[in-house]
Amino acid sequence: MRRLAAMVLALGWGLPAAAQLSVTDGLGQTVTLAAPARRIVVLVPHAVETLYAIGAAAQIVAVVEYSDHPLAARQLPRVGSYTGISLEAILRLRPELVVAWRDGGHPRELARLRALGIPLYVSAPQSVADIAREMRALGTLSGQERGAAQQAARFERQFASLRQRYATARPVATFVQVGDTPLFSVSRLSFVDSLIQLCGGRNVFADAAVPAPQVSVEAVLARRPQLILAFGARQLADWQRWPQLPAVALGNLSLLAEDSISRPGPRLADGAARLCRQIDAARQRLPAG
């Protein structure tokens, strides 16, 4: 810790400055900068996509593994992955802002960055509104307010159109499968739940106490979903063993496009449109009444 602190002092962090920019991050914490960040380290792939979309690509100096969209992001230096990040590598890059993920698996390292005075924005979107809000916040911190405002407005228009189209649609009891050993789903605390609701679906595990609850096959059978969505074809095929499930009986087993539905960034609007079509197709197979 002393060595890292020495690096911070040598690079000039922690010196008094009048804050000129201020936003609230996904944890409700205030993030302040004296000026727009020119050097940004991004520890979550969806924020990389957002920064590219709003016009801040040139300000990104490092990312983590799986930061693969757009293609240009694949050429950026890596400072870690979901399993760990290098504090020294981050500090050597002299970041003026670090963008992290609430569920990124680096609580100790993030606490150290904060203690060292590195400005830290934590992303934690739980809804479509949160994603648009984050676009604008990152636009403020990067000095790309105009690009951020344009992207956020476009994003909101796309979702408003979907909301209007499916506002009175018949509900479809929906189970989203994430992984299989163990089996996980999503709750109302996940932004994916807001997409299901948007499309007229009803998430059968919305009441779980955590964003990604671990569930059992027995629990799925008990909640009798009319549609099962999964990220792998083999996962869907496994449910054929339970023909008593309404989703299986109706032929409502549908494959999700992982990269456009699992990342709360600009491409989520396209993923949501596809999800709505999948839920609507399942709706057409429901028995009358």
Q: Over pLDDT 90: what percentage of the chain?
A: 80
β-strand pairing of 84-85 with 80-81:
antiparallel
CB 171 within 8 A of CB 202: yes
pLDDT digits (tens, 9 = 90+) for 29-58: 999 999 999 999 999 999 999 999 999 999
Range from 15-19, 120-124, 131-135, 242-246 carrying the lowest mean pLDDT: 15-19
Amino acid symbol at 242: W
The residue-averaged pLDDT of 89-96 equals 96
Instruction: Return the CATH class of domain 168-284.
Output: alpha beta
Q: 2-153: which CATH number, 3.20.20.140, 3.90.1010.10, 3.20.20.370, 3.40.50.1980? A: 3.40.50.1980
Q: Please, which pLDDT band fits residue 7 given cuts at 50, 70 and 90?
A: low
Sequence-distant contacts of 21-30: CB under 8 A, at least 24 apart:
21/140, 21/141, 23/121, 23/137, 23/140, 23/141, 24/137, 25/120, 25/121, 25/122, 25/123, 25/124, 25/137, 26/102, 26/122, 26/123, 26/124, 26/125, 26/130, 26/134, 27/102, 27/122, 27/124, 29/122
Assess whether pLDDT exceeds 70 at residue 17. no
pLDDT per residue over 165-177, tens digit each?
A: 999 999 999 999 9
Tell me the mean pLDDT in the region 230-249.
95
Nearest Cα to 218, choosing from 199, 238, 195, 242? 242
Contact 56, 142 (CB under 8 A): yes
Decide: 32 and 222 in contact? Cβ < 8 Å: no
Whole-number Å distance between alpha carbons of 283 and 121: 40
pTM of this structure: 0.84
**pLDDT classification of 9: cutoffs 50, 70, 90:** very low
Where in the chain is CATH 3.40.50.1980? 2-153, 168-284
Kindly tell me if the per-residue pLDDT of 14 is higher than 60: no
Percent of the chain with pLDDT over 70: 92
